[in-house]
Structure 1
């Protein structure tokens, strides 16, 4: 199977899984629709059911791309370990994100990475804190699955290799967190994920099984975007964390150690900046970002209403 055919099959698998999972959850909603309903930035009801649907589809589309792409040639990102790493990172991040979405009262929940880490320092484990720890562990496992097979056996216990695994695991977790931070306006997190996945399609970073897996994620974005833009659905922590973790895993598989350090540094810098600066204000003040962010979205409500 060619790389193009593998990517197309993965995209279809991801899109169909997203639509099927969303329809199944709509027809039989666990705990009732009210448990999954939140109020968006307009003060209107929006459903979180897209979260688990996108998480499941991301795991299917990404893993399918990795497995099918492994038959199309060689390159970074061995198919078996990459598929397992994507599944591990995505399922862990998605499941913990959904738990966080449903378990804490939105009116009183601890917010932000600083808030969750502060609660942990005081000896209180919030569901968000459990998510931070769990996604970190899942990212570390995914990183080990991707990095270690490419390292000769005699070097796997060396400090440099262990440091690479730690950096790569932190990258996966940081990517999961950053995509979640962008899920504040309709379509924003999905558009950012599409840009990130597209960046993995170039030569070098898109080699081997990575490129078809990235195309699989694009299929998920295409399937989920209409309802998100129309403000019927939102990703929530479940969907956003899953997409981010998958993208982070693909970055680890498609780049070398030095690039991974640089990407982690950028992700950490953006995360720290989010604690002090509103991403929405920055986007609205930047013409190109403002236009991209608003593309396909419902127009703002008339003033005075």
Structure 2
């Protein structure tokens, strides 16, 4: 049953994308941006990804009433994943549609906040933090501990931000999503929460990514903050269900190091300078 979560999410993402591109809310111009290559690209892929992921999670919820060990996915985990996707997508859409273009990066938004200027970026930091907190509490429920909750909160929020940092070239963020989701879905059966729940969350992230990858690789669409934040938050939620306290702390250290490194080092330059990463990055592009 779990593998059908990805299929449901992918099918839903394609259907939503077709509807949104036919009837774009607020008009085509509202969702059109210029890519690094000077082409017009639509951000409607982001809402399609988020709604597709929610569709996959809704399908996973159909198994929540089954006995443990029969391929069931706990209702609490499904709700946690839905909360992560919804919170991250909504605040991502705010940044996509109304974000300031003169402030860039974590340092820039925090600097503006210190000057008394509230940007959509600083709003996003706060909302992603709240989203991570709610998600962590839903996953841990009665087993929640203060330190573990804080680490989980930061892991979900940081993962949402990290995937967004890769959304700079066609297909890159979706490939990162698929790679991370594949590792989580294929992981062993150790963990504090049912492995089936981890796989369901990972496949809910992977299904829409597979379905929307051709449009992204062709340079016609991109995730934007809406889709990239949603994908990262969902992967962060899957990590919560897979890892114990030490594992979460280690994952947070890696995510934090990458986010902080992005303030000084261009991921694109690193990828272009590394032959294996460069070939993987360019694979499938038009």
Question: TM-score range with shorter-chain normalisation?
Answer: over 0.9
Name 1:230's counterpart in structure 2.
Answer: 218
Name 2:116's counterpart in structure 1.
Answer: 123
Structure 1 distance, partners of 2:166, 2:246, is: 26
Residue from 155, 161, 168 that aligns with 1:184: 168
Deviates more, 1:175-184 or 1:116-125: 116-125
What are the ranges of 5 or more consecutive residues in structure 1 without an aligned counterpart?
Answer: 1-5, 299-305
Name 2:235's counterpart in structure 1.
Answer: 247
Q: Deviations over 1:273-303 (max 9, x none)?
A: 00000000111111111111110012xxxxx
Give 3-state SS (helix, strand or coil) of 2:195's partner. Answer: coil
Could you say if the C-alpha distance between residues 43 and 25 of structure 1 is closer, same or farther in structure 2, counting changes exceeding 3 Å? Answer: same
Name 1:140's counterpart in structure 2.
Answer: 133
2:100–2:120 contact (8 Å) kept in structure 1 = no
Could you say if the C-alpha distance between residues 12 and 249 of structure 1 is closer, same or farther in structure 2, counting changes exceeding 3 Å? Answer: same
Larger Rg: 1
Name 1:164's counterpart in structure 2.
Answer: 148
Name 2:195's counterpart in structure 1.
Answer: 207
Could you say if the C-alpha distance between residues 231 and 69 of structure 1 is closer, same or farther in structure 2, counting changes exceeding 3 Å? Answer: farther
Structure 1 distance, partners of 2:65, 2:156, is: 22
Shift of 1:73: 4.1
1:67–1:209 contact (8 Å) kept in structure 2 = no
Shift of 1:70: 7.1
What are the ranges of 5 or more consecutive residues in structure 2 without an aligned counterpart?
Answer: none
TM-score (norm 1): 0.87
Shift of 1:120: 1.5
Name 1:8's counterpart in structure 2.
Answer: 3
Structure 2 distance, partners of 1:129, 1:218, is: 28
Shift of 1:216: 2.5
RMSD after superposition: 1.8
**In the alignment, is residue 287 of structure 1 matched against residue 280 of structure 2?**
no
TM-score (norm 2): 0.93
1:69–1:213 contact (8 Å) kept in structure 2 = no
Structure 1 distance, partners of 2:285, 2:65, is: 37
